[in-house]
Amino acid sequence: MTSYRALTFAPLSRVALVGGTHGNEMSGIFLTRHWLKSPFELQRSTLTVTPVLANQPAVERCVRYIDRDLNRCFTSEILQLDSKDGLPLEVCRAKELDRLLGPRGSEEGMHLIIDLHNTNANTGNTLIINNSTNHFCTHMASYIQRTLEGYECQVLALELKDSNLYDLSSVARHDLGVEVGPQAHGVVRAENMERMRKIVQTALDFVEMFNQGVEFPECDLDIYRHVRNMDYPRDADGEICAVIHPERQDRDWLPLHPGDPIFLTLEGQTIRFDGDRTVHPTFINESAYYEKKTAFSVTERVRVRLPPIHRLREGATLGEGASQ
């Protein structure tokens, strides 16, 4: 078995918990409102935790967004737009949040952003990281998995390069998206909210332990790497002409083999998966993704070996094998 050199990360002292990035995903909204009034359960001795309600106008109207999806407004190009140009509401808010929680890449910004989401897809508990090469994030996900054994948390790695980052959590040095489903948009379900709450508490416990000098040994982690998004079949006018097949509905994370049914036309014809290998779909039939031309996300399941990580000691400097 290959042994890996330990990676060193600087301590994390500033964490933001964000709800309402989408104004109709209610678990994060309810929790964030509660934490803004009663933040006591968030407090840890080595870090400051700041709850943030990201898109107040969308929350008030109980809609995903007003002008455009806030969670796609954090690209470098959008953040550099001039606010004098009459920008959409969410673009202006993204620039405000970048200043409040960042700016991205700065020493003054948040060390970790945990962004809270719900989906109507049958994803269960999903931990989303922007890149599986960030081993602070992968170890945090692994710790959450091991600690909350009955929760069966899946780990989705978007595998985004720095130039392709677009989501709110990417403003921070480290990122974690928490996606809990299924839950209809615009409502809250107590069991989903409680699962989200426990995941957040466990993530904060991990940061606290890391800051206090706990070393996390190398381990294996199963992740789902995002490959691409698959659109619905469309007719010559661009209209959807087939829906998710009943045999695929609600089967997030389960293997999809070449030849398996994926869509059903209104004429009753089954459309089968024509890929050349087995994949693992997720966010199947998410209602908010119709406008994004996404019937489901295609992922591949891989097992990765995580190197050991530990905290940078006081007075030490970051060198080879170390990270901010």
Positions marked active-site: 179
DSSP code at position 286: -
Residues linked to residue 176 through DSSP beta bridges, in sequence order: 114
- Spatial distance between the Cα atoms of 185 and 29, rounded to a whole number of angstroms: 12
Q: How far is CA 92 from CA 86, 88, 98, 301, in A?
A: 9, 6, 10, 37
The amino acid that residue 138 corresponds to is: T
Q: How far is CA 282 from CA 155, 169, 223, 229, 268, in A?
A: 11, 20, 13, 10, 24
Residues in the chain: 324
Tokens 């081993």: give the residue: 135
Q: What is the dihedral of CA 242, 248, 253, 257, to 10 degrees?
A: -90
- Whether the CB-CB separation of 202 and 143 falls below 8 Å is answered with yes
Rounded (5°) CA angle 109-49-320: 50
- Spatial distance between the Cα atoms of 299 and 282, rounded to a whole number of angstroms: 7
- Spatial distance between the Cα atoms of 302 and 208, rounded to a whole number of angstroms: 29
Please provide residue 150's backbone torsions phi and psi, each rounded to the nearest 5 degrees. Answer: -75, -5
Please, which residues have CB within 8 angstroms of residue 235's CB and are 6 or more apart in sequence? 241
Reading the block at residue 270, the tokens are 């089954």
- Whether the CB-CB separation of 79 and 109 falls below 8 Å is answered with no
